[in-house]
Structure 1
Amino acid sequence: MTVLAPNESVSGSEALAGLAAMRADAAPLTGKHPDHTFRPLSERLAQWATDGIDTALIRAGIEGTRRRYSGYGLTRMLPLDRVLVGCESTRAGAFGGFHHPDQGYRHFQMVAVITMFGPMERPNPERPSLALLDLLRAYAHDCLHYGSRRRYVEVAGMPVRTQYGINFRRATGQSYSASDERGTPHTRNLGIVMEGACDREARSITRHAARLFGIEEPPDVLGALAFRDVTGTLTEADTTRVLDVPESEEQTRYAAALAGYEKGVDRRYAHFLKEFACGEEHECHTRLLAAIITGDMSELVAWLDARHGPGTFAGLFRTPGYFQPGLAA
């Protein structure tokens, strides 16, 4: 196993040893889901193919993701054996997918924990095409988290993250960017901006794969919501309706989590692009992604300054009183 992701750096031998130890054991993550059985993505895909499921969609999607991300400066993709896919659950009514609780990429362990979309009591997906699209969205999303610039320093012999993408944090815990006020449609939080940028890119990849393989929207309500979610085509009505699945409390919660993520992350990021890059959303988005991956903010900062005046980035995102020597913003 390679201890560090492609754009990570660590100061201090004890911090590096600490990361290596955490990255050798994913049990603290999978242990949060004792009802599910987790296998590496490579094993899941091989088993599904053996059982007659056509996995060409996700394999083509992964290769397309690799080519696309190389253009942003990401030289190495998240290894498939660092992606753990859960299913075969012993919990009656278990329902998985991108919005399953307590999953995603975890930087300390350098592992992505995700679940198979749909009913999880089985080893194979109930709806293979939709499950593969959901899996591709999750993988493309987590590859960007894996490949983002990340810097650790040693504090009392332990690794402490002081940079993630275009956001910074003092070793004492103070963040460069503050949380948004509850209920605001816009965002001034760099965590939301980076999460939204990663998901916008992942959904674009998934939308292309759905078109390429001719995957159509399912006729049922939850299936349609999930398809629109992974392809980035949710409507305003989709996020305001309350979907109650009487026979499944987990499916009801899943639909609510889906709508909450759309409103709390994706819509806020789209609002940010419209606010500060109206008519140039794609140009701003690509500069954001490149900066998140490489940690080099100079082009992004200059691009924003040219349109909104000097100091735009810091004026939007920097918490009062925060200062870090050498930081471009």
Structure 2
Amino acid sequence: MDTAPFHLGLYAARGRYAELGLSQMLPLQRVLLGAESIRGGAFGGFHHPDQGYRHLQMLAVITMYGPMEQEVPERPELALLDLLRAYAHDCLHYGSRRRYVNVAGVPVRTQYGINYRRSTGQTYSSADPQGAPYTRNIGVVMEGACDREARRITRETAARAGLLEPDDVFGRLAFRDTTGTLSDDDVMPDQGEEGPGEAAQYVGALRRYETRVNRHYAVFLSEFAPGEEDDLHDLLLTAVVSGDTRGLSIWLDARHGPGTFAGAFQSGTYFTPALDLSA
């Protein structure tokens, strides 16, 4: 396999993330890559179940895109682009500001980026209503911001490396997913189970993630920063890395009035004492 496109993207990611204040990338020795499986019909990639960054262990668990019944990826170029997207995405999770407290001998995360949680369990923002076309959940916004940036890096790397969109439907869908170029025709409404086989289930997971995370984040940017989406996106990621919302809040307040950040995201139960259910 020619791994040059991955290293080209890695170089671009280092420079871009340094601009956002991230001085250290996720060490490659802390990335566990599953490239082969003995499970019949196994299909890997960014949307594989349980793939992602583990904050307590400080490592990323990633699977190679495509059928996992052979040592070499079936489609090397798509596999490398998917790997770059996953690594660039998890680098931002790794570099996000975190704070922990000790609760009865157990480490409890009370801050992740610009998202907060009380040691008693209350989260800063509530889950979005089922079927809502927008988001007011700061976790969804942060996830969308990380993936928008990771897919931008992958898209630009594919262009520089001369990697073209495949002609077949499945390959085209995977290419557009990793590069952030999915169209409305590619993302159909959630129909639940996509059919038998892990490859079909993977497509269903891809479409749900695109609809519930990336599309909702795009709507959020258009709501709060029409014509200035890239500026707000950069401010968000800078705040996620530093854990400091002051610059972001000042920018939002200047356009939407005082207290915009809290007004958009803070749940009414965030300051409510937790009930003692043990009594």
Correspondent of 2:10 among 62, 85, 94:
62
Counterpart of 2:151 (choices 199, 203, 212) is: 203
Q: Which residue of 2 aligns with 1:299?
A: 247
Report how many residues are paired. Answer: 271
- Report SS of the residue matched to 2:110: strand
Match of 1:228 in 2: 176
The Cα shift of 1:243 comes to 11
1:253 aligns with 2:204: no
The answer to whether the 8 A contact 1:55-1:132 is kept is yes
Pick which of 281-290 and 121-130 moved more: 121-130
**Aligned counterpart, 1:92:** 40
Q: 2:66 aligns with which of 97, 101, 118?
A: 118
| Aligned amino acid, residue 274 of structure 1 | S
Give the corresponding residue for 2:96.
Answer: 148
The alpha carbon displacement at 1:275 in A equals 0.4
- Aligned counterpart, 2:256: 308
Deviation of 1:245 (Å): 8.5
Q: Partner of 1:70: helix, strand, or coil?
A: helix
Task: Give the C-alpha shift of residue 192 in structure 1.
Answer: 0.2
TM-score with structure 2 length normalisation? 0.94
Distance in 1 (CA, whole Å) between partners of 2:168 and 2:70 is 21
User: Which residue is 2:214 aligned to?
Assistant: 266
Structure 1 contact 243–255 (Cα < 8 Å) conserved: no
**Contact persistence 1:77–1:147 (CA under 8 A):** yes
Supply the AA of the counterpart residue of 1:306.
A
Q: Distance in 2 between matches of 1:60 and 1:238?
A: 28
1:13-24 pair list within 5 angstroms: none
| Alpha-carbon distance in structure 2 between the residues aligned to 1:296 and 1:115 | 33
Say yes or no: does 1:82 pair with 2:30.
yes
1:137 aligns with 2:78: no
Q: Equivalent residue of 2:107, what SS?
A: strand
Q: How many angstroms apart in 2 are the aligned matches of 1:158 and 1:314?
A: 29
Alpha-carbon distance, 1:322 to partner: 2.4
Change (3 A) 1:207 1:87: same
Q: Is the 8 A contact 1:152 1:162 kept in 2?
A: yes
Structure 1 residue 158: Cα displacement: 1.6
Q: State the alpha-carbon separation in 1 of the partners of residues 193 and 217 from structure 2.
A: 28
- Picking from 75, 78, 81, the partner of 1:127 is 75
Is it true that 1:318 corresponds to 2:263 in the alignment?
Answer: no
Aligned partner of residue 185 in structure 2, secondary structure: helix
Q: Which aligned pairs between 1:177-188 and structure 2 lie closer than 5 A?
A: 177-188=125-136
Question: What secondary structure is seen at the aligned counterpart in 2 of 1:238?
Answer: coil
Deviation of 1:249 (Å): 1.1
- 2: distance between equivalents of 1:204 and 1:243? 28
Alignment partner of 2:9: what SS?
A: helix
Counterpart amino acid of 2:105?
G
**Stretches of structure 2 lacking an aligned partner (at least 5 in a row):** 273-279
Trace 1:167-186 onto structure 2 (pairs within 5 A). Answer: 167-186=115-134
Contact persistence 1:93–1:121 (CA under 8 A): yes
Match in the other structure for 2:185: 237
User: What is the identity, as a one-letter code, of the residue corresponding to 1:230?
Assistant: T
